C-alpha cells in the first residue's frame, strides 16, 4: 500500500475514533417541582428530580432526547460521574460524540424517576409534614406521574420538543407512557427490552411486600432507624440478577460456577447497601394499571421496538401482538431483535449495544434532521 493511501486510511481511522469520543466527566443535577399534583389528587410539597445532561440545547429547544432508566438503575447513562464512582454510564456505548445518540447534534437529558432512590425524592427522603423519612407513607405515584415529573423537568430547562424518548426495561414503560401522555412532544420513541403493558402487578407487588416483611428490621417499611434490611435485599437482588441473565454475562470472566456465584453475590450486596427498599415498592406500585395499548391510536411518534432473543422477562414472543396493535392503530413502528446470549442485559450498552446501535442510528437520523 502506497504511503499516501496509508496516510489517508489512518486519517480516516483516527477521525472516526475522535468522532466517537467519550463524554468525559458529567455531574448530577437537580430540578425541584413545587406543589406537584399527582393523578390521585395528592399534592407533594416538593418533588426533586435528579438528572444528567450531555451535549448542548439548540436555541429553539428542539434537539433534545430524553433517556429513561431501568427499575433499579439510575440516570447515569453516559460519561463518567464522580458520584457513581467514575464508572461509565449504562448506555455509554450509545450516547456521546459520533455515537448512535450523537451529542454533537443532540442535547440528551437522562432523568431519574420520581420515587427512585438514585437521587430523586423517594421513600428515604424526608416528608415535609413529619420531618421523618416517607417510608411506607410515600404517595402512591403512577407511571403518568413519573412522566409528568419528567415533563416538568424538561419544561423547566427549556426543552420545547423531543427528538425521541429512549430507554430500556422500566424506562421503556415510561417511553410508551410518554407516547400516549404527551403525543405531540416527541418525534420518536425507542422502547428496549420492555412491553407496552404489564399483567399481574398486584400479585408481584404483594409478593415483594411479603418478602421484605420477612426481615426483622422491616417495621412496615419504617426501617431507617432499625439497622436496614440489607440481607433480604441482597437475596432479592441475587434472584433478580440471575433472571436478567447475569450468569451469561459473567461466564467468560468467571468460568468457574463458584467464582461466578461469589461475584453475583458481591454485586448484589453492594447494590443492597445503596438502594432504598421502599423504592422497590414505590416503582412497582406505580405500574398498577399500566397498559398503554388501548391508547395506541393517540401515538403520533415513530416507534422503534427492540427485544432480546434470550430475554426471559420480555421474550420476543410478545412482539407480534404488540406490533400488530401498533400497526392497527396507525403507528409507524419497526421491530428489531438483538441476537444475544445475554438475556435482559442485551439492552445495556456495555454488552451487545453494537448489535443494535446501527438500527438506532438509522431510526434517529430523519428525526434528528427534522429537528434542525
pLDDT at site 8:
30
Which of 215, 311, 340, 352 is flagged as catalytic?
Answer: 311
pLDDT at site 261:
96
pLDDT, one tens digit per residue, over 302-355 is 999 999 999 999 999 999 999 999 999 999 999 999 999 999 999 886 779 999
Q: What are phi and psi of 245, to 5 degrees?
A: 110, 25
- Which SS3 state, helix, strand or coil, does residue 24 take? coil
Q: Is 169 known to be catalytic?
A: yes
Strands 107-111 and 43-54: antiparallel
Which of 69, 75, 76, 344 is flagged as catalytic?
Answer: 344
Q: Are 158 and 61 in contact (CB under 8 A)?
A: yes
pLDDT at site 21:
67
Please tell me the distance from the alpha carbon of residue 235 to that of residue 238, in angstroms, as a whole number.
Answer: 5
Residues of the chain with pLDDT under 70: 1-21, 349
Q: What are phi and psi of 9, to 5 degrees?
A: -65, -45
Which of 111, 169, 181, 308 is flagged as catalytic?
Answer: 169
Please tell me the distance from the alpha carbon of residue 73 to that of residue 68, in angstroms, as a whole number.
Answer: 10
Q: Is 161 known to be catalytic?
A: no
C-alpha dihedral, 26 to 32 to 36 to 42, nearest 10°: 90
Q: Is 344 known to be catalytic?
A: yes
* Cα-only R_g, the chain: 21
Q: Residue written as cell 499516501?
A: 4
pLDDT at site 4:
36
Q: Please, what sign has the CA dihedral across residues 309, 311, 316, 319? A: negative
pLDDT at site 85:
77
Please tell me the distance from the alpha carbon of residue 196 to that of residue 272, in angstroms, as a whole number.
Answer: 29
pLDDT at site 371:
83
The whole model's pTM is what? 0.92
- Which SS3 state, helix, strand or coil, does residue 192 take? strand
| Cell numbers linked to 144 | 403518568
The neighbouring-strand residues paired with 32 are 48
Please tell me the distance from the alpha carbon of residue 211 to that of residue 107, in angstroms, as a whole number.
Answer: 41
* Domains identified in the chain and CATH numbers: 21-198+289-371 (3.40.50.1820), 201-283 (1.10.1740)
Q: Which residues contact 192 (CB under 8 A, 6 or more apart)?
A: 166, 167, 168, 169, 171, 172, 306, 307, 347
Amino acid at each position: 500500500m502506497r504511503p499516501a493511501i496509508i496516510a489517508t486510511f489512518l486519517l480516516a481511522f483516527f477521525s472516526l475514533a475522535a468522532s466517537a469520543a467519550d463524554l468525559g466527566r458529567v455531574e448530577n443535577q437537580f430540578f425541584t417541582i413545587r406543589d406537584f399534583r399527582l393523578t390521585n389528587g395528592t399534592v407533594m410539597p416538593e418533588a426533586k428530580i435528579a438528572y444528567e445532561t450531555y451535549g448542548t440545547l439548540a436555541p429553539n429547544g428542539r434537539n433534545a432526547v430524553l433517556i429513561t432508566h431501568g427499575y433499579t438503575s439510575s440516570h447515569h447513562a453516559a460519561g463518567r460521574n464522580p458520584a457513581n464512582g467514575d464508572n461509565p454510564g449504562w448506555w455509554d456505548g450509545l450516547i456521546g460524540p459520533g455515537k448512535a445518540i450523537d451529542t454533537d447534534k443532540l442535547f440528551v437529558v437522562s432523568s431519574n424517576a420520581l420515587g427512585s432512590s438514585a437521587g430523586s425524592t423517594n421513600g428515604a427522603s424526608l416528608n415535609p409534614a413529619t420531618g421523618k423519612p416517607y417510608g411506607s407513607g410515600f404517595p402512591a405515584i403512577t407511571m403518568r406521574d413519573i412522566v409528568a415529573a419528567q415533563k416538568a423537568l424538561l419544561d423547566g430547562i427549556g426543552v420545547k420538543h423531543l427528538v425521541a424518548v429512549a430507554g430500556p426495561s422500566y424506562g421503556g414503560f415510561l417511553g410508551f407512557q410518554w407516547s400516549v401522555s404527551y403525543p405531540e412532544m416527541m418525534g420518536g420513541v425507542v422502547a428496549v427490552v420492555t412491553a407496552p403493558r404489564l399483567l399481574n402487578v398486584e400479585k408481584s407487588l404483594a409478593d415483594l411486600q411479603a418478602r421484605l416483611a420477612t426481615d426483622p428490621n422491616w417495621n412496615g417499611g419504617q426501617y431507617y432507624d432499625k439497622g436496614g434490611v440489607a440481607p433480604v435485599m441482597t437475596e432479592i437482588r441475587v434472584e433478580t440478577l440471575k433472571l436478567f441473565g447475569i450468569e451469561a454475562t459473567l461466564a467468560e470472566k468467571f468460568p468457574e460456577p463458584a467464582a461466578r456465584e461469589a461475584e453475583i453475590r458481591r454485586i448484589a450486596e453492594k447494590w443492597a447497601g445503596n438502594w432504598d427498599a421502599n423504592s422497590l415498592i414505590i416503582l412497582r406500585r406505580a405500574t398498577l394499571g399500566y397498559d398503554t395499548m388501548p391508547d395506541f391510536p393517540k401515538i403520533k411518534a415513530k416507534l422503534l421496538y427492540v427485544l432480546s432473543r434470550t430475554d426471559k422477562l420480555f421474550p420476543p414472543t410478545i412482539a407480534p401482538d404488540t406490533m400488530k396493535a401498533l400497526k392497527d392503530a396507525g403507528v409507524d413502528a419497526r421491530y428489531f431483535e438483538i441476537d444475544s446470549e445475554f438475556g435482559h442485559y442485551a439492552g445495556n450498552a456495555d454488552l451487545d449495544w453494537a448489535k443494535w446501535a446501527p438500527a438506532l442510528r438509522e431510526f434517529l437520523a430523519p428525526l434528528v434532521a427534522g429537528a434542525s
